[in-house]
Chain A
Amino acid sequence: MNVAGVLTTKKELSSRNELTEPLLVRWLLIAAALVFLGLFLLVPLAAVFSQALEKGFEAYLAALKEPDALAAIRLTLITAAISVPLNLIFGVVSAWSIAKFDFPGRSFLITLIDLPFSVSPVISGLIYVLLFGLQGWLGPWLQAHDIKIIFAVPGIILATIFVTFPFVARELIPLMESQGKDEEEAARVLGASGLQTFWRVTLPNIRWGILYGVILCNARAMGEFGAVSVVSGHVRGSTNTIPLHVEILYNEYNYVAAFAVASLLGMLAIVTLVAKSFVEWRIRTVKGEE
C-alpha cells in the first residue's frame, strides 16, 4: 500500500469513528466511572457536612467552640507548624545532594527516604513507643530526667514527622533531576556564591514543586490518625489532635460534635485538593512556556 493509500484509510477510519468507541459505549463507561466515584468519594464527603449540620448551625458552632475541641485544633496546628518546616528543610537539602550529584548508593538512598510511606501508620507509632516508652531503650533515662515523650506532645510531633517524612523530598528529587545543573553551573562560573546560586537560580525553579510537596505534607500532618493514636495517650484537652478528638467524640456517640470537628478536616481536604490542582496547573503552564 502506498503512502496516499494509508492516508485515505486513516481518514476513513477516523471519520467512521473506528478509533473510538460507539457513543452508547462511551456513555456507559463514563456513567459507570461516575457512579463508582460518586458512591465511594462524593457520597462520603457530602455525608461529613450533612451529619455535622444535622442539628443545625448552632449545635455545629457549639461543638467547635468547646474547650477540648479548641485545644485539639491548637495542638494540630502546633504539630503541623513544627513537622512541615522540618521536612521541608530536609526535602530541599536531600534533593540538592541527590539530584545535583552522582554517588554510589544514590538510588538506595531514595528508597530509604520513601520507606515511611510503606510502613503501616500503627507501626510508625509503635517504633517510637519502643524507643522512648517506659519499657523502651531510652525510657528509664527519660524518666530519671523527668522528660515525657510518649503520651505527650513530643511523641505526637515525632510520629507526625515520620509519616510525612518523604513528601517534599519525593517531589523535589525528580524535579531537580529533570532540570539538570547547567543553570547552577553557569551561575557559579559567573561568580555567584553557593548560597546566591541556590537562592537566585535553584529556588525560583523549584518553588512550585516545593509548594506542591508542602501542601501534601501539611494535609497528612494535620490528618494523621494511626501513628499519632499509638503515641498520644488520648488525654482530652492536652494530647488530642483533631483526628483523635473526632474518634473520642464518635466513640461517645456524640455524632453531631464528631462530624462537626471532622468537617474542619473535610474542609482541609477540599482546600488541599483545590490548591493541589492549582499548583499542578501552574507547573503545566510553566512547562508549556519553556
Chain B
Amino acid sequence: MKKSQRHNVLPGFGLTLGYTIFYLCLIVLIPLSALVFKTATMSWGDFVAAVTAPRVMASYRVTFGAALLAAAINAVFGVLVAWVLVRYRFPGKRLVDALVDLPFALPTAVAGITLASVYAPNGWIGKLLEPHGIKVAYTPLGILVAMVFIGLPFVVRTVQPVLEEMEAELEEAAACLGANRLQTFVRVLFPVMLPSILTGFALSFARAVGEYGSIIFIAGNMPMVSEITPLLIITKLEQYDYAGATAIASVMLLASFIMLFAVNLLQKWSRRFAG
C-alpha cells in the first residue's frame, strides 16, 4: 500500500528508467557485445593461439606484473599520504590535498610525455639517476613509474574518509591499556583501514592494467620486454588483424570484470566493517 502510493506521488519513473536503459544499451552494452560476438566467431583453437602467443604472454607479464608492483607501491604511499593529510597539520596542506587528484585531471598523453622527459637520461630526475646506472625511461621501470602516477589517487581517496571517521576512543583505549603508538597502529588502526586499503589497491591495479596513454611514451615499447597489452591490441589493429586484437581485448575485458567483481566484494566487506 505504502509503496504504490509513493509511486503515484513522484512522476516520471517509466520515462526516466526507459531512457536510462536505452542510452545505456546504445552507448555501452551494444558496443561491448560487439566485442563478445566478434570473439565468438573465432574458433577455439584460433582464439587460444591468438591469446597465448609468446609476444602476447610477455605483454601480460609486463602489464600485470608492473601493475601489481605499482599498486603495492601506491598502497604503502597512499596510506602514508592519507595519514599525513588527516592527522597532521602543515602549511600548504589544502594545496597538497588538491594536488593528489592531479592524475585524474591531467590528460594521460600529457602525463606520458612529461614523465618520459623528466625520467629521460637528460631529464630532471633521469639526470640524477643516470650516474648510478639506473635507467627509467624506455625500460620496464618506466612503465612502473607511469603506473604509480596514474594509480596514485585511488588508495589515498579510499583510505582518507575511513581515517577521518575513525573514532578517537579506539586509540585512547589502546593507549590506556598500555599499547605504544606502533602497536596501536598495527593492531588497532590498521585492521580498520585494511578493507579500504585493499579496495584502493584493487582500483589502482585495475586502472594500471588498462592504462595506455601515459605508458607508451615512457615504455620504449620493445616487444617481449616493455610492450604492454593495450599497445599490442593497437598494433594488431593497425596491422588489420581485427580477430587477434579482439581476442586479446576480450581477455583484458574478462580480467577487468573479475577486478570489478573483486572491488564490489571488497566494498561490501568494508561497509560491513564500518556498520
Residues of A within 8 A of B (CB): 6, 9-10, 13, 18-21, 25-26, 29-30, 32-34, 36-37, 39-45, 47-48, 51, 90, 93-94, 96-98, 100-103, 109, 111-116, 118-123, 126-131, 133, 135-137, 158, 161-162, 165, 181, 184-185, 188-189, 194, 197, 216, 219, 222-226, 229-230, 242-244, 246-247, 250, 255, 258-259, 262, 265-266, 268-270, 272-274, 276-277
Q: How far is the CA of A94 from the CA of B3 in the complex (A)?
A: 20
- Chain A residues closer than 8 Å to B210, beta-carbon distance: 118-123
A-B contact pairs, 13 of them (CB 8 A): A6-B176, A29-B84, A33-B83, A36-B77, A45-B114, A93-B19, A94-B23, A102-B3, A115-B28, A121-B211, A130-B31, A162-B27, A276-B105
> Is B72's beta carbon under 8 Å from chain A?
no
- Chain A residues closer than 8 Å to B101, beta-carbon distance: 273, 276
- Chain B residues closer than 8 Å to A26, beta-carbon distance: 88
With A48-B110, A112-B29, A126-B237 already in contact, the answer to whether A194 and B12 are too (CB < 8 A) is: yes
- Chain B residues closer than 8 Å to A51, beta-carbon distance: 114, 117
- Chain B residues closer than 8 Å to A32, beta-carbon distance: 80
Q: How far is the CA of A29 from the CA of B107 in the complex (A)?
A: 30
With A123-B233, A126-B237, A135-B242 already in contact, the answer to whether A255 and B117 are too (CB < 8 A) is: yes
- Closest-by-CB residue of A relative to B214 is A225
With A37-B99, A123-B35 already in contact, the answer to whether A269 and B105 are too (CB < 8 A) is: yes
Task: Say which one of B42-50, B51-59, B192-200, B252-260 lies at the interface with A.
Answer: B252-260
Q: How far is the CA of A120 from the CA of B217 in the complex (A)?
A: 17
- Chain A residues closer than 8 Å to B211, beta-carbon distance: 120-121, 226
B80 in contact with A223 (CB, 8 Å): no
- Closest-by-CB residue of A relative to B96 is A37
B81 in contact with A184 (CB, 8 Å): no
- Chain A residues closer than 8 Å to B171, beta-carbon distance: 19
- Chain A residues closer than 8 Å to B90, beta-carbon distance: 30
With A33-B81, A269-B102 already in contact, the answer to whether A111 and B117 are too (CB < 8 A) is: no
Report the minimum CB–CB distance from B28 to chain A (whole Å): 6
B24 in contact with A112 (CB, 8 Å): yes
- Chain A residues closer than 8 Å to B11, beta-carbon distance: 188, 194, 197
With A13-B172, A126-B35, A131-B31 already in contact, the answer to whether A44 and B114 are too (CB < 8 A) is: yes
Report the minimum CB–CB distance from B115 to chain A (whole Å): 6
Q: Is the interface of A mostly helix, strand, loop or mixed?
A: helix
A43 in contact with B35 (CB, 8 Å): no
Contact of A118 among B29, B83, B259 (CB under 8 A): B259
- Chain B residues closer than 8 Å to A96, beta-carbon distance: 12, 16
A226 in contact with B230 (CB, 8 Å): yes
Report the minimum CB–CB distance from B264 to chain A (whole Å): 7
B13 in contact with A97 (CB, 8 Å): yes
Q: How far is the CA of A179 from the CA of B102 in the complex (A)?
A: 30
- Chain B residues closer than 8 Å to A135, beta-carbon distance: 240, 242
With A111-B260, A123-B233 already in contact, the answer to whether A243 and B31 are too (CB < 8 A) is: no
A127 in contact with B31 (CB, 8 Å): yes
> Which residues between 220 and 275 of chain B lie within 8 Å of chain A, taking CB atoms?
230-231, 233-234, 237, 240, 242, 245-246, 249, 252-253, 256-257, 259-260, 264
Which 6 A-B residue pairs are closest in the complex by CB-CB distance?
Answer: A223-B107, A120-B210, A194-B11, A225-B213, A97-B16, A226-B212
Q: How far is the CA of A231 from the CA of B64 in the complex (A)?
A: 25
A122 in contact with B102 (CB, 8 Å): no
B10 in contact with A273 (CB, 8 Å): no
**Additional A-B contact list (19), CB under 8 Å, known A33-B80, A97-B12, A118-B259:** A10-B172, A26-B88, A42-B99, A44-B111, A44-B149, A47-B114, A90-B23, A101-B13, A118-B206, A120-B249, A129-B237, A129-B242, A162-B27, A184-B9, A185-B6, A188-B10, A219-B107, A243-B213, A272-B105
B96 in contact with A247 (CB, 8 Å): no
Q: How far is the CA of A274 from the CA of B97 in the complex (A)?
A: 11
